[in-house]
Amino acid sequence: MSQKELQKRYWKANLAVLAGLLSIWFVFSCVLSIFLVEPLNEFKLGGFPVGFWISQQGAIFIFIALIFAYVLIMRKLDRKYGVEEEKH
Amino acid sequence: MDIQGWTYLIVGATFALYIGIAFYTRVKSTEGFYVAGHGVPAVFNGMATGADWMSAASFISMAGMISFIGYTGSMYLVGWTGGYVLLALLLAPYLRKFGKFTVPDFVGDRYYSNAARMVAIFCALFISFTYVAGQMRGVGVVFSRFLGVDINTGVIIGMVLVFLYATMGGMKGITWTQVAQYVVLIIAYLIPAIAISYQMTGNPIPQLGFGSKIKEGENAGLYLLEAIDAIHRDLGFPEYTAAFVPGKKSMMDVFAITIALMVGTAGLPHVIIRFYTTRTVQAARWSAFWALLFIGFLYTTAPAVATFARVNMIQTLHQKAYAERPEWFRNWEKTGLIKFDDKDGDGVIRYTSDTKSNELIVDRDIMVLANPEIANLPAWVVALVAAGGLAAALSTAAGLLLVISSSISHDLCKRIINPNMSEKQELRYARVAAGFAVIVAGYFGINPPGFVAQVVAFAFGLAASSFFPVIILGIFSKRTTKEGAIAGMVSGIAFTSAYIIYFNFINKAAVDKWLFGISPEGIGTIGMLLNFAVAIVVSRFTAPPPASVQEEVEFVRYPGSVRTDGTSLPGPMVH
C-alpha cells in the first residue's frame, strides 16, 4: 500500500475512534449528568443518588479513562499505519 | 507556633523554592522562552497543566460555590474537566505536531492571513487579561487574610515574584515552578479534606466519605447527603441533591453552561500552549491524560468538601447562641466574610432561605479558607491552605502572562510588524511585554473592576466562540478558508459579547428575555455554534485554501509525517 493510501486509512480510523470516544463523553457529560439526572436520582448507590453521583464524581472518572483509552488506541493506530514518530 | 508564624514559614519556604527553580531554568532562546524548548516530559507537563489550569477560583471559590447550589455545581465540575477530553482528542496532538509557539501562530498560518492572526491576538489578549486580574486579586486576598499584610502590598509581592520567574525563565521557568506549585496546592487541598472526611464520617477518603453516614451529633447514622437534603428542606432551601427544582437553574441553562465551560476550557490559550511544550505528539497525548488525572484529584474532592462544609456550617451555627459562637467564627468575622445580623434581637443565629429573616451572611470563599479552622485542625494546616491558595493563583497568573507576552512579542511584533527581527531582539521584547503585562495585571489587582465575576464568564464565552471552532475546523476540514474563519470568529465574538454585555451590564433584570432561557454564562455555546455555521457556509462560497496550506493540514494529522521542506519534529534540544 502506498504511503498516501495508508495515511488516508489512518485518518479514517482516527475519526472513527474520536466518534466512539466522544459519544461516551457526551453520554456522561450531558445525557446522564443533565438530561436523565432526575430519573437516575430515584436510584441510590450507597448514600448517593445515582444521577448526583455521576454528575459530581462518575463523569470525571470516565473522562480520565477516556483519555487513557485514547492514548493507547492511538499508539496502536500510529504503528499499524506506519505514521508513528521516530524515537528521540 | 501560631497560625501567622506557620504561614510566614511555609509561604516563605515555597516562595524561596519558586525563585530557586526560576534561577536554574533561565533561558536564552525564544524556543525556550515560549515553549520550554519543546522538552517537557509528559508527567511533569501534566502537573504543570494542572497548576496552570487550577486558579484561585478552583482552589478557593469552587467548593464554596458548589456548597451553596448543590447539584447545579456539577456544571463547573463536569464543564471544567470534560473540556480536557476535547483538548486531548481534538486539539493537543495536532497543535503539538504543528509545532510553533502560540495559538495566533496556528490561526494565522492555517488561515494564511494576518487579519485572522490579528483577531486571534485580540482574543488571546482579552481572555488572558480578564483572567489574570482575578488571580492577582486572589494573591492579595490570601496575603491579607493570613499574613496580616495590606491587600495592595500582597498584590505587589505577588507581582514581583511572578515577574522574576516569568522573565528569567519564560515558559521553562514557569513550567517547573508550576510543577512545584501543583504539589503544594494539591497537598494543601487534600489534607484538610481527608481530616474533615474522617472526622465526620469515619472514612478518610473524601470521595467515599460524602456518600457515607454521619458519625456523631444530631444527625448521626444518617447518610450525609440525606441529612443535608433534610436540613435544606427544614430551612426552606431547595434540596441539595435535587436537580431542576424551583430556585435552581433550568435544565437548558445547566446544559448550555456545561457545554460553554467545556468548549471554553479547550479554547483557552494558556492551556492550549502547554501542549506545545512536549517533545513528541505521543507525549502531548499523555500530557492531557496526566493533566486531567492530576486535576481530577482536586475536582473529585471539591464536591465532597462542599458537602462537608455545608453540613458543618449549618450544624455548628444554626439555632446557636451568638455569644457562644466558635473561635473560627470570631476570627473570620473580622474579614467580613461571615456576618451575623440579629434581626429579631434574641441573640440566636438563624439561617434560612428567606432573606427577610435570615441572620447569617456567609461568603462562599470561607468554605475552603476557613475549613481547617472549622474542623479544629492544627495551625500548620491552616498555613498550608494559604500557601496552596497562593500557589494556585500564582501558577495561573504566570501562564497567562506568558500568553500576553508571546502575543505581543511573537505574534504582533515578529509575525506582523517586523518579520526580520532577530531572536535576541524578540526575546527582549518578550521580556518587556511580560513586565508590562505584570504591571497591568497588578493594576487591576489593586483597583479591581467591580465586575470580575461577570468578566470571567466573558473569558470562557469568548474562548468558546472564537478559538475552539476555528482550530477544530483548521484541523478537521481542509476546505475551511480564511474568509470563513474570520467571518466565523467575528460573528461568534460579536454575538457572544453583545449578549453578555446586554444581559450582564445593560439590562440585568431581563431574565425572561434570555434566548432559550440561557444565562450569559452559557451563551458561549450558541456563539460557538454560530461560529461553526458561519465558517462552514462562508468557506463553501470562497476559493479553497492554497495547496501549501492543505499540505500543512495533512502534515498536522499524522504524528510521524515530514514537512515537504524536510523538517520534522524538532530534535533533542541543544540549548
Q: Which domain holds residue A62?
A: 3-80
B395 inside domain: yes
B562 inside domain: no
A29 inside domain: yes
Number of separate domains in chain A: 1
A88 inside domain: no
Task: Render pLDDT for B65-113 as a digit per residue (tens, 0 to 9).
Answer: 899 899 999 999 999 999 999 999 999 999 999 888 889 989 999 999 9
- How many other C-beta atoms lie within 10 A of the C-beta of residue B397? 34
For position B464, what pLDDT does the model report?
Answer: 93
Q: What's B361's DSSP letter?
A: E
**Dihedral angle, C-alpha B293, B525, B63, B226, nearest 10 °:** -100
Nearest to B296 among A18, A51, A64 (CB): A64
Task: Render pLDDT for B234-249 as a digit per residue (tens, 0 to 9).
Answer: 888 998 988 898 888 8
Task: Render pLDDT for B100-153 as a digit per residue (tens, 0 to 9).
Answer: 888 998 999 999 999 999 999 998 998 888 888 777 777 777 777 777 777 788
Given a contact cutoff of 8 angstroms between Cβ atoms, the answer to whether B45 and B278 are in contact is yes
Phi, psi torsion values for B113, nearest 5 degrees: -160, 130
Q: Which residues of A touch B254 (CB under 8 A)?
A: 34
Number of separate domains in chain B: 1
**Which ranges constitute the DSSP H helices of B412-481?**
423-446, 452-465, 467-476
A67 inside domain: yes
Phi, psi torsion values for A42, nearest 5 degrees: -65, -25
Task: Render pLDDT for B199-215 as a digit per residue (tens, 0 to 9).
Answer: 889 999 999 999 888 88
Q: State whether the Cα torsion B489-B491-B495-B498 is positive or negative.
A: positive
A87 inside domain: no
B564 inside domain: no
Q: Which residues of A touch B224 (CB under 8 A)?
A: 47
Amino acid symbol at B387: A
**8 Å CB contact of B258 and A33:** yes
HSE (side-chain half, CA atoms, 13 Å) at B437: 33
Q: Domain holding B72: CATH number?
A: 1.20.1730.10
ipTM: 0.96
Q: Which three cell numbers stand for residue B490?
A: 467575528
Instruction: Number of helices (H) and strands (E) in chain A: give both, helices first.
Output: 4, 2
Q: Which residues of A touch B299 (CB under 8 A)?
A: 60
Q: Cβ contacts of residue B353 below 8 Å, gap of 6+?
A: B235, B236, B237, B247
- How many other C-beta atoms lie within 10 A of the C-beta of residue B562? 12
A86 inside domain: no
- How many other C-beta atoms lie within 10 A of the C-beta of residue B26? 14
Q: Which domain holds residue B59?
A: 3-557
A85 inside domain: no
Angle CA B148–B154–B155, to nearest 5:
155
3-state helix, strand, coil in chain B (%, to 5): 75, 0, 25
Tell me the shortest Cα–Cα distance from B558 to chain A, in angstroms. 6
